């Protein structure tokens, strides 16, 4: 959280706290979100091929980065779902829409993985 004077973290203590909070969020998502867990396993499975099949640093970054985007979108989707469920535990049209849109964001990042991997790797085998 930013202080009143600056939006940048001040000192190693605040940077360390930000890292701890991020790791806590990842651990919580891994523990309670089965979709995030599955996507983490897929990232672990696909990281070696991403690093081996990329012909350049840029290609490796695109292959691996597309995988990280899925995890980022899933974390944001899970955060949306947690907030929506807290605010509106019963069915509500707008709550459902928000959750569906979060899910759609994850879907698009998965399509991005297919597009990036296909566009970079398919020409080598055709």
- Pull the structure tokens for residue 76: 């944001």
Q: What is the pLDDT of residues 71-82, one digit of tens each?
A: 999 999 999 999
- Summary mean pLDDT of the chain: 92
Does the residue 39 lie in any domain? yes
Query: Residue 29's pLDDT is what?
Result: 96
Nearest to residue 72, comparing CAs of 126, 45, 112, 16?
112
Does the residue 23 lie in any domain? no
Q: What is the pLDDT of residues 63-112, one digit of tens each?
A: 999 999 999 999 999 999 999 989 887 888 888 999 999 999 999 999 99
Higher pLDDT, 110 or 2: 110
Does the residue 24 lie in any domain? no
pLDDT band at 4 (very low <50, low <70, confident <90, very high): low
Does the residue 5 lie in any domain? no
Query: Residue 3's pLDDT is what?
Result: 53
Among residues of the chain, what percentage have pLDDT more than 70?
93
Does the residue 63 lie in any domain? yes
Q: Is 90 a catalytic residue?
A: no
Say if residue 5's pLDDT is above 80: no
Nearest-5° angle of CA 58, CA 63, CA 65?
A: 85
Q: What does the H/E/C string look like for 71-109?
A: HHHHHHHHHHHHHHHHHCCCCCHHHHHHHHHHHHHHHHH
CATH number of residue 40's parent domain: 1.10.287.3610
pTM of the model: 0.86
Between the alpha carbon of residue 26 and those of residues 35, 39, 47, 53, 55, the distances in Å are: 13, 12, 18, 28, 31
The one catalytic residue among 33, 59, 74, 81? 74
Query: Residue 7's pLDDT is what?
Result: 66
Task: Round to whole Å and give the CA distance between 97 and 60.
Answer: 35
Range of the domain at 59: 34-125
Does the residue 14 lie in any domain? no
Query: φ and ψ at 6, to 5 degrees?
Result: -145, 150
Q: Look at the chain and report how many structural domains it folds into.
A: 1
């Amino acid at each position: 959280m930013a202080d009143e004077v600056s939006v940048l973290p001040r000192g190693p203590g605040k940077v360390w706290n930000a890292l701890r909070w991020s790791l806590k969020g990842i651990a919580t998502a891994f523990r309670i979100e089965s979709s995030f867990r599955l996507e983490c396993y897929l990232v672990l499975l696909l990281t070696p091929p991403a690093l081996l099949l990329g012909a350049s640093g840029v290609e490796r970054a695109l292959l691996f980065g597309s995988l990280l985007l899925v995890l980022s979108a899933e974390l944001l989707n899970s955060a949306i779902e947690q907030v929506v469920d807290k605010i509106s535990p019963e069915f509500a049209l707008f709550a459902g829409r928000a959750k569906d849109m979060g899910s759609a964001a994850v879907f698009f990042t998965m399509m991005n993985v297919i597009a990036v991997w296909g566009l970079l790797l398919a020409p080598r085998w055709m």
